[in-house]
Structure 1
Amino acid sequence: MRRNTSISLLAVGHACVDIYQGAVAALIPFFVAERDYTYAVASGIVLAASLLSSVAQPVFGALTDRWAMPWLLPVSTLLGGVGIALSGLSGSYGLTLLFVAVSGVGVAAYHPESARLARLASAGSHSAMSWFSLGGNIGFALAPLMVAAAIGHGSLRWTPVLVLPALAGAALCLPVLRMLDRPRTGTAGTRAPRSADDMASFVRLSLAVVFRSVVFTGLSTFVSLHAQQRMEGSATAGTVALFLLFLGGAFGSVLGGSLANRYDRVRVSRWSYLLSVAAVTGVIHAPGPAMFLFVALTSAGLYVPFSLQVTLGQDYLPSRVGTAAGVTLGLTVSVGGLVSPLLGHLADTTDLRTALTPLIAMPALSWLLFRTLPEPTPPGALRRTAPSATTSGTWKEAGRDSTPVPGTPPGRPGGPRRAPGRTRP
């Protein structure tokens, strides 16, 4: 299987899933306008999407460390889409929270397994992982446009139209699973020893991702309303601001992978967070249309480290790459949604600009934590097996594949065999 093909398909599938993360924030102005929700009540919808997701992603990550579960990709994609599709059909706030939470669980189930398969197919390439992350960023960016197109001139009862990306994403998962040729069940086999894990660095990395999550989720929840206020109530201004916030991440992810090939990941992430401090300040306090420039810069700055943090987490925890992905892509990212109701309450009691001002400190805290992190040496856990008469060339993960290479002694799974007649010096 060609690496580019698998990464491209995984990236497109990632886009189809992350549309539903972006759709939650994109639906907030419509819930406020159509149902008269306050800022705090509306931000509770973001909380519902984040709460179960934040708990579920590490659980799914731990499960994928133990068993290969590629079937999760199409199932979770459909679950994410169905939840958002149903969210606008009932005027009940409780049912809306339930449907959005179901979508959050679907998104949570998707990311750890997809990140494991992307790492497998990328053979450890930072650039390939950045393209995988790019797919998610494009999905985020398309979300406000799709929501506006589906219900912008109608009502929330048009949300069932939003299930279409999930159907496309689930269909795309099927050829990916065939190409990767992974077993549907089976234990993880031999893994890196727990002694290889750097838990202290992983905890500091996770805290840095939490602070990034707080600022990004806070802005994605309220930047649309903030832009409408700054541009005299223009609904278009809100859609443009949210689109730029999500689209800038596409540029940032690719740039991050490219820079990480020249410099180490920790250094690239550190400088990106430092520059994000100024960018977030501009979003909140820059006058007039200049705000849109700072929205794009903030998005790029916050997404340069995004895919790098995933691979850093997997290198800090080489014995539990699924758990690492579940935390860096899931728990820490979703924690930002827990802060949204606090920002909403503060906005209700003061004003929106005052409520958003504390977000300036978040990338500064991430920068401080990255100053304490080492650049890990990748464990070289990925290799490509040679084609044989019984199996085609597929991407294998050393110590992770449950199928032994024919001819190896019992208890010695996998590993390339020496050619006949050659001895080790």
Structure 2
Amino acid sequence: MQQDQQKERLLTKPLLLLTFGHLITDFGQGALPVLLPFLKTAFTLSYTQVGIIVLVQNLTSSVIQPIFGYLTDRVSLPWLIPASVLLAGIGLAIIGLMPSYYTLLIAVIIGGLGIACFHPQASKSTHLISSAATKGRSMGLFSVGGNLGLALGSIAMSVALNAPGVLTNTLYFIIPGLIMSFLLYSNLQYLSPQQPIVQPAAASHPAAVTRQPLNYSLLAILLGFIFIRSSIHTGLTTYIPMYYIDFLSGSPVYASYLLAVFLFAGVIGTYAGAALSDRFGRKTVIMGSILTTLPLISLFQYTSGFATLLILALTGLALISSFATTVVLAQEMMPGYVGMASGLTIGFSIGLGGIGATILGYIADHFGVPSVFTVLAALPLIGVALASFLPGKLFKR
């Protein structure tokens, strides 16, 4: 009994470390959308150039993640976790110090590489330290860390940009990266157990866990769904501040609060969706998420005041509720390739959403920022169609 309790405590410690590491790593992804209006003014950028900044971050932070996923499936690389947290912090810290648009892109690349290194190994570690019955909730808690980092990053950057020094205040963002990197390095031995915690039946038949054939068609459908969801998410995080500041001539501070409401609601949705998927099934949560998002985005432009905050909160809650669920579903579809599954779902397909941001930038330049939200409101229809082909039954595990 005492050994079991000790094991429970041991498992809680690495999960919390990984969750907070995820929070600090994703600070930059939440901070960048708040930075974009200031960078647009400082460097006299077009919306297309702003979209390229988002694309570069997504390409470096996400699209190359499967490469690191492939490596971590073959060799355990727990040291990547603290190293990547530090690298992500450095990239964010130097963004405001860059003298030109192209050096700014270099800073974005540095931070993006840190993010790309972190997710596959950290997701794999989360998978390994979780029992079969709690994988959804464990991945949900880990994902909450990332989404909370997005939300806190937006608020922290808003505070930094409204203090004396403005853009140069990004330098202070190196501090949480240094602290978290040290904590992770000090507890490295807890972050990557050699064997996953499995049910007795699976433990007695390890070949059944690693030799199941992959269904590439279903995997492609899942990645297509994540691409659509990511395009919507990236579009909203990029253009909510732009819409309020450039089109409505509103306050940058209030625009950052609107973004924070959207992202904080996503934090709640992440864990709620993961917990519900353990009970009602992965497909149920994924379909419910995208169906609920469909009418909410359409209402955004027609609201004001408290109604706008409510719509953004509900949109964040619904849209992000499938985040952890799609990661777990991919890991279940790719037994023996946990790192690759994480790299594809958290990385590659999400990163491709940056292409959507660039296209939306072109649309904003030629047709106006409001037209961006018209496009975003239509994308959930594609998501619904893709989700209908995913494996599993609705309301059944």
TM over 0.5: yes
Is 1:221–2:231 an aligned residue pair? no
1: CA distance between counterparts of 2:116 and 2:131? 24
Structure-1 residue corresponding to 2:82: 74
Secondary structure, counterpart of 2:97 in structure 1: coil
Q: CA deviation at 1:231?
A: 5.3
2:72 maps to amino acid: T
2: CA distance between counterparts of 1:227 and 1:168? 35
What root-mean-square deviation, in Å, do the aligned CA atoms of Structure 1 and Structure 2 show?
1.9
The range that moved more, 32-41 or 203-212, is 32-41
Aligned equivalent of 1:132, options 142, 159, 164: 142
Structure-1 residue corresponding to 2:301: 284
Structure-2 residue corresponding to 1:35: 43
1: CA distance between counterparts of 2:221 and 2:301? 28
Is 1:58–2:66 an aligned residue pair? yes
Q: Residues 216, 260 of structure 1: CA spacing in aligned structure 2 closer, same or farther, 3 A cutoff?
A: same
The range that moved more, 34-43 or 101-110, is 34-43
Structure-2 residue corresponding to 1:294: 311
Cα pair 2:158 2:253 within 8 Å, conserved: no
Structure-1 residue corresponding to 2:172: 161
Structure-1 residue corresponding to 2:290: 273
Q: CA deviation at 1:162?
A: 1.3
Is 1:148–2:148 an aligned residue pair? no
2: CA distance between counterparts of 1:180 and 1:27? 33
Aligned equivalent of 2:261, options 232, 244, 248: 244
Q: Deviations over 1:242-298 (max 9, x none)?
A: 111211111101211221232011111101110011111122343454222111111
Is 1:261–2:282 an aligned residue pair? no
2: CA distance between counterparts of 1:160 and 1:233? 27
1:131 maps to amino acid: L
Cα pair 2:227 2:350 within 8 Å, conserved: yes
Aligned equivalent of 2:125, options 117, 126, 133: 117
Please list, as runs of the form range in 1=range in 2, the aligned pairs for 1:174-185 lying within 5 A after superposition: 174-180=185-191, 182=193
Q: CA deviation at 1:21?
A: 1.4
Q: Deviations over 1:325-355 (max 9, x none)?
A: 0010001111111221221121111210112
Secondary structure, counterpart of 1:122 in structure 2: coil
2: CA distance between counterparts of 1:286 and 1:149? 26
Structure-2 residue corresponding to 1:13: 21
Q: Residues 288, 345 of structure 1: CA spacing in aligned structure 2 closer, same or farther, 3 A cutoff?
A: farther
2: CA distance between counterparts of 1:352 and 1:5? 45
If the length of structure 2 is used for normalisation, what is the TM-score? 0.88
Q: Deviations over 1:94-132 (max 9, x none)?
A: 110011011111101100110000011122311121111
Cα pair 1:24 1:45 within 8 Å, conserved: no
2:141 maps to amino acid: W
- Number of paired residues? 371
Cα pair 2:62 2:346 within 8 Å, conserved: no
Aligned equivalent of 1:206, options 223, 235, 248: 223
Cα pair 1:196 1:319 within 8 Å, conserved: no
Q: Residues 363, 194 of structure 1: CA spacing in aligned structure 2 closer, same or farther, 3 A cutoff?
A: farther
More helix as a share of residues: 2
1: CA distance between counterparts of 2:94 and 2:207? 43
2: CA distance between counterparts of 1:307 and 1:34? 37
Q: Deviations over 1:43-69 (max 9, x none)?
A: 221111112233320100011111111
Unpaired runs of at least 5, structure 2: 1-6, 195-205
The range that moved more, 86-95 or 133-142, is 86-95
The range that moved more, 366-375 or 329-338, is 366-375
Structure-2 residue corresponding to 1:390: none
Q: CA deviation at 1:229?
A: 5.0
Structure-2 residue corresponding to 1:234: 251
1:364 maps to amino acid: L
Structure-1 residue corresponding to 2:198: none
Larger RCO (alpha carbons 8 Å, 6+ apart): 2
2: CA distance between counterparts of 1:242 and 1:54? 21
Q: CA deviation at 1:36?
A: 2.5
1: CA distance between counterparts of 2:246 and 2:161? 21
Q: CA deviation at 1:230?
A: 6.4
Cα pair 2:125 2:193 within 8 Å, conserved: no
2: CA distance between counterparts of 1:105 and 1:191? 34
1:114 maps to amino acid: A
2: CA distance between counterparts of 1:230 and 1:296? 21
2:48 maps to amino acid: A
Q: Percent identity?
A: 32
Cα pair 2:30 2:151 within 8 Å, conserved: yes
2: CA distance between counterparts of 1:332 and 1:55? 7
Q: CA deviation at 1:364?
A: 2.3
Q: Residues 229, 272 of structure 1: CA spacing in aligned structure 2 closer, same or farther, 3 A cutoff?
A: same
Q: Residues 33, 181 of structure 1: CA spacing in aligned structure 2 closer, same or farther, 3 A cutoff?
A: closer
Cα pair 1:112 1:325 within 8 Å, conserved: yes
Secondary structure, counterpart of 2:342 in structure 1: helix
Cα pair 2:43 2:100 within 8 Å, conserved: no
